[in-house]
């Protein structure tokens, strides 16, 4: 801000749009998000409750639905910790050290976001399936991965792999290395430095990554659909169960399970908002921002 | 990024500047191992299986008439979706950053819904809304407009999945854009429209293009939200990822891999393009 007052007033105020532009643009954006975001959500709940809450709850209490919920929870319970471990390792190596071809490694970490989930699923079929690289060996040892829980977990790990890493890498790069170097030079061990110096600095970003990773892990469809085999009650996750019921024209059932997943999404958004409020300034990171670039 | 070694290192240049912070070998090793086992080796299996077809076989499988139609559909609908998002994303970011209005916080939260909502749920929800019996589908049917089981439906689904990208890439740049540049332009006599066109939009361009590319890349590979609303008619409303699953259901692994290899190529190109745009953007913002 300059101390001198402007020489002349600039219309209503410089950088401010006329009221009709403001109202028009706001109305446009609200109409767009109602049509594309709000109404679909409302549709899920109205369709789920089309015959009252009874049939809807019955659909959720169905043994196959419960098995699907359990499998989804199990998958997330494995995929999310793996993701945290990978994200912490990748961010520590990339942000706190220098090595050649670093940007290539960062690009490779980003790969699962660009690859179609269906291609990811196919790649696991080609490695672990009966006709795959490891298929004959797995068969002689009676290990089933494709069309079984391990395949579903692996496919979920593939598609969620970048979540925590891409949250932590820019954050830890921006924070620099001074604090860790100071701790180490004062005699702290690597683990002590990590838990007492680094973790307090990155906890919000880490939670944020975990939250988004969890939403994706519970909701993944394409990759899991390819490796699952769609065996009801056995290899059926919640999103796959939605598809099965929908294709059987069980509208109430499909939308009831979908409504449960909508609640998960809404809870994710609420928690995300709460995290953004709680997060101190300077830990601002964005979901859609590609990783690996320091903020200028 | 500054990679100047301290003056002390006047010995032979080392491959890696030693950091005082421990744990490099362990974390780097784990990262690389996990990346290879989980991502790179499985993807190599796709390339290897499709290479097993030989040149002629690969071309026959990957560029069959049906596959070409599927690519065309996926790419053109993704482009339209990303363009719609490009326009509305820019306006949304503008409204979120510049205007105060009731419901702004809610709008800000709901924009991220496509990131949080499972794609299959998005698929059945959009099909339920835009299909023949849905509120919007039924309302538009008398006008002769069909919003599901055709290209329109596919574009709606792909617009949905790419929606947050442009908003979330443009928004931080717009927030950081100093208003004094705008005021300077205005005080020098520029009208509001020319200030927006000549001062604001060029500053947003790198972020906007990045968001567009991210939305497009996401849409090309999208599967779950599309298949419920697409209709899935061979040659007409069959997207490329769906074709892979169809080949797979017929146990034609080689053809599935050939199509997947093409899609993998598109994914690589998009990833490199986005990286190049990012590098250009961070250079031009200095």
- CATH number assigned to the domain comprising residue A69: 1.10.3720.10
Q: What angle do CA B243, B248, B252 make, to 5 degrees?
A: 105
Please tell me whether residues A135 and A216 are part of one structural domain. Answer: yes
Please tell me whether residues A33 and A103 are part of one structural domain. Answer: no
Question: Would the CB atoms of A293 and B169 count as touching at under 8 Å?
Answer: no
- Neighbouring CB atoms inside 10 A of A238's CB total 25
Short-list A268, A271, A272, A245, CA closest to A257: A245
Please tell me whether residues A67 and A43 are part of one structural domain. Answer: no
Q: Find the helix packing angle between A117-128 and A149-160, rounded to 10°.
A: 140
Question: Would the CB atoms of A220 and B118 count as touching at under 8 Å?
Answer: yes
Please tell me whether residues A22 and A84 are part of one structural domain. Answer: no
Question: Would the CB atoms of A100 and B244 count as touching at under 8 Å?
Answer: no
Task: Give chain A's domain count.
Answer: 2
A226 contact residues in B (CB cutoff 8 A): 245, 248
Question: Would the CB atoms of B34 and A89 count as touching at under 8 Å?
Answer: yes
CA distance B223 to B157: 10
Distance between A66 CA and the closest CA of chain B, angstroms:
18
Please tell me whether residues A219 and A257 are part of one structural domain. Answer: yes
Please tell me whether residues A25 and A91 are part of one structural domain. Answer: no
Q: What is the pLDDT of residues A175-197, one digit of tens each?
A: 888 899 999 989 888 889 999 99
B282 contact residues in A (CB cutoff 8 A): 293-294, 296
Question: Would the CB atoms of B120 and A22 count as touching at under 8 Å?
Answer: no
CA distance B152 to B134: 15
Domain boundaries, chain B: 65-284
Please tell me whether residues A117 and A250 are part of one structural domain. Answer: yes
CATH of B65-284, one of 3.90.120.10, 1.10.3720.10, 1.10.3660.10, 1.10.150.650: 1.10.3720.10
Please tell me whether residues A24 and A83 are part of one structural domain. Answer: no
Helical ranges in chain B per DSSP H = 24-35, 41-51, 54-62, 65-98, 104-110, 113-116, 119-130, 135-140, 151-176, 179-187, 192-195, 201-221, 224-230, 240-249, 253-284
**pTM of the model as a whole:** 0.88
CA–centroid distance for B202 within its chain: 22
Question: Would the CB atoms of A261 and B117 count as touching at under 8 Å?
Answer: yes
B286 contact residues in A (CB cutoff 8 A): 296
pLDDT tens for chain B, 286 residues long, are 444 444 444 444 455 556 778 889 999 999 999 999 999 999 999 999 999 999 999 999 999 999 999 999 999 999 999 999 999 999 999 999 999 899 898 999 999 999 999 999 999 999 999 998 899 999 999 998 999 999 999 999 999 999 999 999 999 999 888 777 778 887 887 778 888 888 888 889 999 999 999 999 999 999 999 999 998 989 999 999 999 999 999 999 999 999 999 999 999 999 999 989 888 877 776 5
Please tell me whether residues A76 and A216 are part of one structural domain. Answer: yes
Identify whether A85 is part of a domain: yes
Question: Which one of B15, B98, B104, B128 makes the best mutation probe of the A interface by having the most chain A beta carbons within 10 Å?
Answer: B128
CA–centroid distance for A58 within its chain: 30
Please tell me whether residues A124 and A207 are part of one structural domain. Answer: yes
pLDDT tens for chain A, 296 residues long, are 444 444 444 444 545 788 889 999 999 999 999 999 999 999 999 999 999 899 999 999 999 999 999 999 999 999 999 999 999 999 999 999 999 999 899 999 999 999 999 999 999 999 998 888 998 899 899 999 999 999 999 999 999 999 999 999 999 999 888 899 999 989 888 889 999 999 999 998 999 999 999 999 999 999 999 999 888 888 999 999 999 999 999 999 999 999 999 999 999 999 998 888 887 654 444 444 444 333 33
Please tell me whether residues A37 and A183 are part of one structural domain. Answer: no
Name the residue range of residue A85's domain.
53-278
A48 contact residues in B (CB cutoff 8 A): none
ipTM over 0.90: no
Question: Would the CB atoms of B19 and A98 count as touching at under 8 Å?
Answer: yes
- Pick from B49, B99, B282: CB nearest A293: B282
């Amino acid at each position: 801000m300059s101390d001198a007052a402007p020489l002349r007033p600039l219309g209503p105020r410089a950088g401010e749009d006329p009221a009709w532009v403001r109202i028009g643009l706001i109305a446009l954006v609200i109409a767009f998000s109602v049509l594309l975001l709000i109404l679909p959500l409302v549709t899920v709940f109205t369709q789920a409750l089309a015959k009252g809450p009874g049939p809807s709850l019955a659909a959720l209490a169905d043994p196959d639905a419960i098995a699907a919920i359990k499998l989804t929870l199990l998958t997330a319970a494995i995929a999310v910790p793996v993701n945290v471990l990978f994200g912490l390792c990748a961010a520590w190596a990339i942000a706190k050290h220098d090595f050649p071809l670093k940007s290539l490694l960062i690009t490779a970490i980003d790969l699962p976001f660009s690859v179609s989930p269906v291609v990811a699923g196919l790649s696991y079929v080609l490695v672990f399936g009966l006709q795959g690289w490891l298929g004959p060996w797995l068969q002689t040892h009676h290990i089933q991965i494709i069309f079984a829980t391990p395949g579903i977990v692996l496919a979920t790990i593939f598609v969620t792999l970048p979540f925590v890493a891409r949250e932590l890498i820019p954050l830890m790069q921006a924070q620099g290395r001074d604090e860790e170097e100071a701790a180490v030079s004062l005699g702290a061990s690597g683990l002590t430095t990590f838990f007492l110096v680094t973790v307090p600095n990155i906890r919000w970003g880490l939670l944020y990554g975990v939250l988004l990773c969890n939403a994706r892990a519970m909701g993944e469809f394409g990759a899991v659909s390819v490796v699952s085999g769609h065996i009801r009650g056995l290899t059926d996750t919640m999103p796959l169960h939605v598809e099965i019921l929908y294709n059987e024209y069980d509208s109430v059932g499909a939308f009831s399970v979908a409504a449960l997943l909508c609640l998960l999404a809404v809870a994710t958004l609420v928690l995300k908002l709460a995290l953004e409020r709680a997060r101190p300034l300077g830990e601002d990171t964005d979901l859609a921002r590609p990783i690996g670039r320091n903020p200028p | 990024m500054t990679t100047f070694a301290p003056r002390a290192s006047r010995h032979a240049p080392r491959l890696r500047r030693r950091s005082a912070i421990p744990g490099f070998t362990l974390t780097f090793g784990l990262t690389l191992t996990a990346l290879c086992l989980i991502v790179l080796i499985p993807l190599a299996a796709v390339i290897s299986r499709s290479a097993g077809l030989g040149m002629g076989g690969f071309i026959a499988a990957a560029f069959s008439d049906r596959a070409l139609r599927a690519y065309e559909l996926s790419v053109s609908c993704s482009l339209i979706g990303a363009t719609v998002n490009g326009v509305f994303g820019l306006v949304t970011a503008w409204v979120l950053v510049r205007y105060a209005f009731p419901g702004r916080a809610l709008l800000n939260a709901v924009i991220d819904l496509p990131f949080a909502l499972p794609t299959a749920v998005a698929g059945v929800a959009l099909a339920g809304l835009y299909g023949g019996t849905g509120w919007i589908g039924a309302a538009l049917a008398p006008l002769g407009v069909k919003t599901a089981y055709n290209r329109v439906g596919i574009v709606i689904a792909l617009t949905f999945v790419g929606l947050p990208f442009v908003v979330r890439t443009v928004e931080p740049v717009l927030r950081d854009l100093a208003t004094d540049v705008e005021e300077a332009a205005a005080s020098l006599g520029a009208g509001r429209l020319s200030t927006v066109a000549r001062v604001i939009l060029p500053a947003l361009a790198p972020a906007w293009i990045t968001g567009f590319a991210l939305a497009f890349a996401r849409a090309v590979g999208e599967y779950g939200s599309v298949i419920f609303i697409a209709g899935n008619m061979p040659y007409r409303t069959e997207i490329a990822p769906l074709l892979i699953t169809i080949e797979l259901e017929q146990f034609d692994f080689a053809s599935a891999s050939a199509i997947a290899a093409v899609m993998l190529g598109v994914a690589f190109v998009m990833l490199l393009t986005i990286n190049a745009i990012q590098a250009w953007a961070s250079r031009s913002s200095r």
